[in-house]
Chains A and B, each alone.
Chain A
Amino acid sequence: DAGITQSPRHKVTETGTPVTLRCHQTENHRYMYWYRQDPGHGLRLIHYSYGVKDTDKGEVSDGYSVSRSKTEDFLLTLESATSSQTSVYFCAISRGEVTDTQYFGPGTRLTVL
């Protein structure tokens, strides 16, 4: 999986609790992305980062925040989880050229009860 790990791989939590998902890469790629995948919606971009401390919103960023203090780590935080955030979350990386391929991690399955 292109040197990308995600943790945890599975998580069950309750509504209102904070949750942090971690994406770690060993490729030293500049760009990192967080997506969620839901039936009928395909892949939707939550946030992305184009460098350390440089992040921007995607199409479904409400309720999520991100941080990137090191090149290799990109954290996604749900400040107060809701049932609508039950989903499979994927991290992806790319080198940064406009023609680049995005490579995906194995995913985190999050269930919010």
Chain B
Amino acid sequence: AQSVAQPEDQVNVAEGNPLTVKCTYSVSGNPYLFWYVQYPNRGLQFLLKYITGDNLVKGSYGFEAEFNKSQTSFHLKKPSALVSDSALYFCAVRAPNAGNNRKLIWGLGTSLAVNP
């Protein structure tokens, strides 16, 4: 079965330190991978996506993600965390060749807390 795992419910980092939010997936073929962020009482905002090409993808607000096909991972990273990065982060995957099906497979989310 196709699935996405975000192994950490919560990640705590100090402001100014690098952060990593982990995502692994189980999808056949070459998947399309997405990261979204949700601030309190807001909708989800798109951060970045991997379709093909360079394994390191740069996105909004200084975030980047590294696609690793052998480890089936797509970890979200930022070199220096800000308190304002505190939010809920979702990883999502879409399988290719899905016909009319554009559905995303979602992880359960990781709550990031950046401490001053």
The answer to whether A48 and B102 have CB atoms under 8 Å apart is yes
Report the number of A-B residue pairs with Cβ-Cβ less than 8 Å: 55
B-side interface residues, number (CB < 8 Å): 24
Which of B44, B46, B100, B101 has the most CB atoms of chain A within a 10 A radius of its CB?
A: B44
The answer to whether B46 and A103 have CB atoms under 8 Å apart is yes
Q: Which of B16-24, B65-73, B105-113 touches A?
A: B105-113
Q: How far is B46's CA from A40's CA once the two chains are assembled, in angstroms? A: 21
- Using C-beta atoms within 8 Å of the partner chain, give the interface range for chain A: 20 to 34
Complex interface bits, A51-87 against B, C-beta within 8 A gives 1, otherwise 0:
0001010100000000000000000000000000000
What would 16 A/B residue contacts be, using CB atoms closer than 8 Å? A31-B102, A41-B108, A42-B106, A42-B109, A43-B44, A43-B90, A45-B103, A45-B104, A50-B102, A90-B43, A98-B94, A98-B97, A99-B49, A104-B45, A105-B43, A107-B43
B residues engaging A (CB < 8 A)?
A: 32, 34, 36, 42-46, 49, 51, 90, 94, 96-98, 100-104, 106-109
